[in-house]
Amino acid sequence: MRWTRRPLLPALVGLAVLGPAAAAPSAWASVGGAAAPTDQRAGGAEYGILLGRPSAPRPAVAAFRVAPHTLVSGRAPRLAVQITQRGVRTVTARIVFRPVHGNGTLLELPLGQVRTERLLRPAWPASSVLAPGRYVVSLHATGPAGGTLLRRAQASGRVPITVRPRPVAPTPAPVVAPAPTPPPLVAPVVPPLPDPGVTPDGAFPVAGPHSYGGDDARFGTGRVGHSHQGQDVLADEGTPVVAPLAGTIIARDYQASAAGFYLAMDAADGRSFFFAHCQKDTFAVTLGQTVAAGQQLCRVGHTGDATGPHLHFEIWIGGWRRSSASYPVDPLAQLQAWDH
């Protein structure tokens, strides 16, 4: 603490004059002298004592925080500062980031004139970046009389922080150009076999007593929304239905609104045959199965949209509903050729 000394010349002169008296008080008393009063209540001052007063107090740290203590380079730390000084409204302050062991970059953040007794949160300058390294962050302050910051053990105004390098973004995997898409494989167009017409060889599709019904059972007869595309062969429920020629089963399904339980097959001569209204649970072949002429396929029934047991039989050229080029033909002449 600084002290201001008052002029000491009168006191020192008095001290010199009174020196012999101090050495021989009895002699001074015999000639009428008196000792200097020592009781301060008398209002005097004791000679030889220096008068003075302490200088202005120094600023001190009330709060100083830097967060987080570990951060990534490029991220701004959060600062909080509070300085106290009795009888002083403002002080000049700055914050210094000093690297330890030379790792990092010295950075100074001037705060200018700041109010005392207030918690301040200085904004981090956008242009300032802390390089990776370890730092000691110090708060500095100077009062109006020139007094510097008072540092105590419990409030030193110093905080250690660590700045880590920014993580390196992983190198993106090289972009591999996709292989060119091969042109789509287009199956060669196989023209449908011509209609072989009526052939005598083959088995009649209903293996039992039967009839061809009336005019409404013929090919081309009008139906609601469409025309009849086959020939109905009437027979008793459960009469076996067989393959007229050798071939492959290409459809095996159920249609409640029309065909009921039905089958379709591609015959060896290029034509396709369709069998509808099979009795329930009488399929004797599987999808994709190869069958021989005369082999049982199902039994006569009346499933789907049918009145009375009968087989609805169709002959298709170019495949059964395979493409727009497919078409049905009147099967009556062929049925009559097999019916012997």
Superfamily of domain 215-338 in CATH is: Glucose Permease (Domain IIA) (2.70.70.10)
Q: Can you give the pLDDT at residue 186?
A: 66
Residue 229: Cβ-neighbour burial (10 angstroms; 0-12, 13-18, 19+): buried
Q: Where are the domains of the chain?
A: 60-164, 215-338
Q: Are the CB atoms for 97 and 109 separated by under 8 Å?
A: yes
Nearest CA among 267, 263, 337 for reference residue 301: 263
Q: Can you give the pLDDT at residue 272?
A: 97
Q: Are the CB atoms for 205 and 242 separated by under 8 Å?
A: yes
CATH topology (fold) of 60-164: Immunoglobulin-like (2.60.40)
**Token pair of 140, please?**
């500095």
**Token pair of 56, please?**
């202005």
Left, alpha or beta for 202 (phi > 0: left; psi -120 to 50: alpha)?
Answer: left
* 100 vs 192: CA distance, rounded Å: 90
> Residues in the chain, how many?
340
Q: Are the CB atoms for 120 and 64 separated by under 8 Å?
A: no
CA 137 from chain centre, in angstroms, equals 38
Instruction: Give yes or no for a cis peptide into 68 (omega within 30° of 0).
Output: yes
Residue listed under structure tokens 């200097």 = 36
Q: Can you give the pLDDT at residue 167?
A: 87
pLDDT averaged per 10 residues in sequence order, the chain, 340 residues: 36 34 37 44 41 64 94 92 94 95 86 95 91 94 93 90 89 84 68 78 96 93 85 97 97 95 96 97 97 98 94 96 93 94
Angle (CA) 43-48-52 rounded to 5° is 75
